[in-house]
Every structure is written in structure tokens, then in C-alpha cells.
Amino acid sequence: MHYSAGDTAWVLVSAALVLFMTPGLAFFYAGMVRSKNVLGMLMQNFATIAVVSLIWVFGAYSLAFGPDWGGAGLIGTLHFFGLAHSSQPVPGYTGAIAQHIPPLAFVVFQMTFAVITPALITGSTADRLRFGPFIVFVALWSVLVYAPIAHWSFDPHGWLYRMGAEDFAGGTVVEINAGAAGLAIAAVVGRRRGWPRSPMPPHNVPLALLGAGILWFGWFGFNAGSALGANTLAAHAFINTNTAGAAGLLGWIAMEKLRGGKSTTLGAASGAVAGLVAITPSCGFVDAVGAGVIGLAAGAICSVAVSAKFRMRLDDSLDVGGVHLVGGVIGMVLIGLFGTAATGGVNGLLYGGGLPLLGHQAVAILACGAYSFGATWVIAKVLDRLVGLRMTPEDELEGMDTALHAESAYDFGGSFLRSLGGGGFRPAE
Amino acid sequence: MKLIVAIIKPFKLEDVRNALTREGVVGMTVSEVQGYGRQSGHTEVYRGAEYQTSFVPKLKIELVVSDDVATEVVEAIVEAARTEKIGDGKVWVLDVAELVRVRTGERGAEAI
């Protein structure tokens, strides 16, 4: 088998870029929680990297991209469990879409997607999940929810892929999936105590901006890397990604201004993320105009959508539904309008392609959204019954950092008095 | 002896300190405090959700002076701290029963 050195290098580098997004996400989220829950949020995200990295190698990758089980396009088999048969080409990729990279490069690239998707969910349940049960949730969810949906949309043998639904880098698999799952688990574990009456403002907006910047940077690997080669398609995806992120930023802060408020820095960061979310499925299928419109629409619409949780009385704490579900749907739907064969895929409605693509996109959105919400709700409900997902009221009031992890994120107040020996100290043994 | 306690806007500290120096006051204690009076807090907005902050950052100045200068010192603080906008703060005066300088053991007005 001949592999392209350029393609392989780009995919490996992209894998590293995408892995870096999860710490970026961790800080994006950690900046938005209160100062007593910073380490709890960071810990969930870092632990997700570890848990999914192992689950992926031992099972989930094979279920997502292994030989199709029964030919229905629903799930793969365990043929590649533990990276067995890793010299064999990934089964779905033949003919015009044959890969020119070692299968292991594809394994690790896709692994980073499997990592960040459950990490995204942590935003919806911020400040209130027990740590151990969270780990179990991530492991089960990766196998039962992520792997099947990845098979449907990403694997060329998957039923949505074969039907003709277009999802370049994870509008369904990552964004809609995480958004719907986030709403489901937030519904199961319930609202934070005091929400929405008690104020729970972000404790460190600069940290959130730093995280958003890391996400933007890593997103180039996410989207342009999904071309699986160092080629023109990757370049299209790259520039479209940046265009949509920029348009999303402006869309969000313009909307804030139009609605009578001020343009906020957290709004700018959120708008960029919303634009990047929406361009994720579409970056390899649209042109510059499409990317601009998609980003702008996502920024503007998501800035309004994040308020829906107050009417729904659903404490999706950091707006995983409002940004990732809504942004993912916007991106998927607009492929149906702005898709152009000049970039990749087939023409959408505005480019003379008619309605079929729009129909395929709608089926993909509904199928992935419904399965993710339903399956996540069941997993969370069962776990909650068996072991309890939620922290005790005392621990929630105290905060995750000291209650769950015996650490605090910041030592500004009282540190001088503490240095005088007032609190006692025992050296490590 | 009088204890003068003044709550002022933080950016007025330099003005107040300069005024007190002109009055011959040679020491003070300053703390960062938060509170509210007639001035309400301010509003912060995160992703469209508004958060009212009811406590406003202020500085608290404490100093002990002899009875004969207390009125002028209070006047100097008030003049220096005034912006004529809501939230300028308050000044109050208490009698001091005893005062001791730690280094020398001097007592009363000698210790000021």
C-alpha cells in the first residue's frame, strides 16, 4: 500500500491540533463557571481525554469504523478491537475516497473527535456531577452513542452517508450529538440549586477567551484535517472555517447591539465558536459566500437561542444546546442551500441542486438528534438510579474543587495568614 | 481624641490623602470594603443574562485625631472626596477612650 507522506503528515498534525481543542474547551468552560468549580470542570475534560483514548483503542473505534455489522449501516464490528488488523485499510474508504494515509493515522485523528464530543457535554451539567459516575457515563456514552452515530455519518458504509447526507467534519457526530446529549443529561440530573434565581456569573472571562482562541486554532485541524489529505479540499475547509468563525463573532456581537445591549467579550468568543460549529459539517461543501452566511447566521441565531433555556426551565448551564445543537443544525441545514459541487459534494438548492440534499440533511439531523437525546437520557437515568449522578447539596454548595478534588483553583485570599501557620500543615509521606 | 471613619470612592483616595497631609495628619489605615447605600450596584451581562451586583467596591479610611482638629479633618475629607454624584460615601466620628503607641508605650494624645 502506498501512503502519501504529505497527507499522512497533515492528518497526524491535525490529530494533535484537535486533541489540543479539549484542554482549550476545558478553559473555555472553566472561565464560565464560578470560582469554586473551576478544577471540577477542568478535571472532567482532562479525564475525558484519558477515558476516551482507551475506550477508542479498545472497542469504540472498531464499532465506528470497523466492517459493517449485517450491512445495515448501523454499527461496525469488533474486527479492529485493540487495534487488531491495523494494517488493513479502513473498510468504507474505497475507490475515489480511498485513503492515502496509514490506517493508524486515521484511528488517532478520529480518536480526537471522540474525545472532544463527550467533553462538550460537560458544559450542560456544570457544577453538579459526581466525578466517578461521570467517568462511567463517558465510557458508556462513547460506546453506545458516539460510536454508532460516527458509523452512520462518517463511515461510508453508514446509512446516513450512503443515503447522501453530507457532514464533512461532524455537524451530526460531534455538534448535534453533544448538544442533544447535553440537554438530555441536564434534564436527568436537574437544575443547579438556586438556578435561575441565584446569580451564577462567569468567574473569569479572560480564561474563557483564551479557551475560545485555542478552540479556533485547533478547529483548523478538525475541519481541514477531515479532508484526510493535504490538498485543495483541505484548503477550502481551512479558509471556510476561518471565514465562518469570523462571521459568527461579528454576528453575535452585532445581535447584542441590535437588541439594545453592549457588545460583550464573552459574546465575541461565543459567536466565534457558534460560527465554527456551524461550518464544521459544511466547510468541505460550500464556497466563501456560503461560509460567510453560515457563520453570520450561526452567530446571530445562537446569541438568541441561548436564552431559550430560561423559558424551558432547563439548566443547560453553559449552553451546549444553544450553541452546539443549534449551531450544528444551522450548518447541516444550510449545506442543503449552499452546497456546491465546485468545493465538494453535490449542489444544494441555491446552486441548482434541488431539494434532495436538503431532505437528506433533515433526516440526518432528526435521526442523530433523536437517537443521541434518547440514548443519553436512558444511560443517564440508569446511572442515576444505580449509583447517583449528582453531588450532595452540601458538596454542591461548597463547590466541586474542595468537595470532590481536595484542591482550590485560586489562593488569593487569606494566603498571608495561612503562611503564618494558622492552618497547620502535614508534609507528604 | 476622635476616631474618624470615612467610606469613599476608591479613585478619590489620592485626593483625600493629599488633603489630609495638608491638614497635618500623618497616618491612616485603609481597607477595601464593599457595600451599598443609595447608590445601587451595577449590571453585568453574560450571554444575554443580566446579573445585578448589589455591593459596590469602596475604601474605608480610619484615623485617630485630637479633639481640636477633628472638625477640620472631617471637612477636609468631605471636600476632597466629593464628586456630587450618588455614592460619594459617608464620614462618621466616634469618641476614643484610649490610645497607645506600641513602640514607646505613650498614651493619649501623645500617641497620635
pLDDT in tens, A159-196: 999 999 999 999 999 999 999 999 999 999 999 999 99
Domain spanning B2-111, CATH class = alpha beta
Chain A contact residues (CB < 8 Å to B)? 32, 196, 199, 201-202, 205, 256, 259, 261-262, 264, 266-267, 270, 303-304, 306-307, 310, 319
Minimal-distance CA residue of chain A relative to B53: A199
Model pLDDT for residues A349-376, shown as the tens digit of each residue: 999 998 999 999 999 999 999 999 999 9
Task: Decide if A307 and B44 are in contact by the 8 Å CB cutoff.
Answer: no
Minimal-distance CA residue of chain B relative to A262: B45
Mean pLDDT of A282-296: 98
Which pLDDT belongs to residue A8?
A: 98
Residue A415 has pLDDT above 60, yes or no: no
Task: Decide if A270 and B44 are in contact by the 8 Å CB cutoff.
Answer: no
Q: How far is B50 from chain A (nearest CA, A)?
A: 9
pTM, 2 dp: 0.88
Which residues from B are below 8 Å from A199, CB to CB? 51-52
- Cβ(A348)–Cβ(A340) under 8 Å? yes
pLDDT band at A412, cuts 50/70/90? low
pLDDT band at A418, cuts 50/70/90? low
Report the number of distinct structural domains present in chain A.
1
Which pLDDT belongs to residue A351?
A: 95
Query: Which among B82, B45, B22, B72 is positioned nearest to A201, based on CA atoms?
Result: B45
Which pLDDT belongs to residue B52?
A: 80
Greater pLDDT, A124 or B54: A124
**A13 in any annotated domain:** yes
Model pLDDT for residues B2-26, shown as the tens digit of each residue: 999 999 999 999 999 999 999 999 8
Task: Decide if B45 and A261 are in contact by the 8 Å CB cutoff.
Answer: yes
Task: Decide if A267 and B44 are in contact by the 8 Å CB cutoff.
Answer: no
Residue bearing cell 450596584:
B41
Mean pLDDT of A60-75: 97
Query: Which among A383, A311, A301, A355 is positioned nearest to A125, based on CA atoms?
Result: A383
Which residues from A are below 8 Å from B47, CB to CB? 264, 266-267, 270, 303, 306, 319
**A422 in any annotated domain:** no
Model pLDDT for residues A32-62, shown as the tens digit of each residue: 999 999 999 999 999 999 999 999 999 999 9
Task: Decide if B47 and A266 are in contact by the 8 Å CB cutoff.
Answer: yes
pLDDT band at A429, cuts 50/70/90? confident
Strands (E), chain B: 2-8, 29-35, 42-46, 49-53, 56-65, 89-95
- Cβ(A20)–Cβ(A119) under 8 Å? no
Residue A413 has pLDDT above 70, yes or no: no
What percent of chain A is predicted at pLDDT more than 70? Answer: 97
pLDDT band at A419, cuts 50/70/90? low
Which pLDDT belongs to residue A426?
A: 73
Residue B109 has pLDDT above 70, yes or no: yes
Q: How far apart are CA A401 and CA A395, in angstroms?
A: 10
A27: Cα within 13 Å, side-chain hemisphere: 16
Of A196, A262, A267, the CB nearest to B47: A267
- Residue A264's domain comprises 5-404
Model pLDDT for residues A293-331, shown as the tens digit of each residue: 999 999 999 999 999 999 999 999 999 999 999 999 999
Greater pLDDT, A429 or B96: B96
Which residues from B are below 8 Å from A32, CB to CB? 46
Which residues from A are below 8 Å from B44, CB to CB? 201
Q: In the numeric block, which cell numbers belong to residue A268?
A: 465575541
Minimal-distance CA residue of chain B relative to A205: B46
Residue B98 has pLDDT above 70, yes or no: yes
Which pLDDT belongs to residue A404?
A: 97
Of A259, A262, A319, the CB nearest to B47: A319
Q: In the numeric block, which cell numbers belong to residue A284?
A: 468541505
Residue A420 has pLDDT above 60, yes or no: no
Q: How far is B102 from chain A (nearest CA, A)?
A: 21
Which residues from A are below 8 Å from B52, CB to CB? 199
Those residues with Cβ within 8 angstroms of residue A44's Cβ, 6 or more apart along the chain or in another chain: A26, A119, A122, A129, A131, A134
Which pLDDT belongs to residue B47?
A: 92
Which pLDDT belongs to residue A425?
A: 66
Q: Which CATH number covers residue A99?
A: 1.10.3430.10
Residue A421 has pLDDT above 70, yes or no: no
Minimal-distance CA residue of chain A relative to B47: A267
DSSP character for A103?
H
Q: How far apart are CA A238 and CA A331, in angstroms?
A: 16
Q: How far is B70 from chain A (nearest CA, A)?
A: 34
Lowest mean pLDDT across A66-80, A256-270, A285-299, B20-34:
B20-34
Of A259, A266, A304, the CB nearest to B46: A266
Residue bearing cell 460549529:
A277
Task: Decide if A264 and B46 are in contact by the 8 Å CB cutoff.
Answer: yes
SS3 for B60? strand
Query: Which among A288, A335, A65 is positioned nearest to A175, based on CA atoms?
Result: A335
Q: How far is B54 from chain A (nearest CA, A)?
A: 11
Q: In the numeric block, which cell numbers belong to residue A50?
A: 484519558
Model pLDDT for residues B77-86, shown as the tens digit of each residue: 999 999 998 8
Minimal-distance CA residue of chain B relative to A198: B51
* Cβ neighbours, 10 Å, residue B103: 7
Of B44, B48, B51, the CB nearest to A307: B48
Residue bearing cell 493619649:
B108
Chain Cα centroid distance, residue A83: 24
pLDDT band at A244, cuts 50/70/90? very high
Q: How far apart are CA B106 and CA A94, in angstroms?
A: 95
Of A202, A205, A303, the CB nearest to B48: A303
Mean pLDDT of A204-223: 98
Which pLDDT belongs to residue A315?
A: 97
Mean pLDDT of chain A: 95
Which residues from A are below 8 Å from B48, CB to CB? 256, 259, 261, 303-304, 306-307
Q: How far is B52 from chain A (nearest CA, A)?
A: 8
Which residues from B are below 8 Å from A304, CB to CB? 48
Interface test with A, best of B31, B34, B47 (most A CBs within 10 A): B47
**A324 in any annotated domain:** yes
Q: How far is B49 from chain A (nearest CA, A)?
A: 8
Q: How far apart are CA A246 and CA A252, in angstroms?
A: 10
Chain B contact residues (CB < 8 Å to A)? 44-49, 51-52
Burial class (CB in 10 A: 0-12, 13-18, 19+), B79: exposed
- Cβ(A151)–Cβ(A75) under 8 Å? yes
Residue A422 has pLDDT above 80, yes or no: no
pLDDT band at A157, cuts 50/70/90? very high
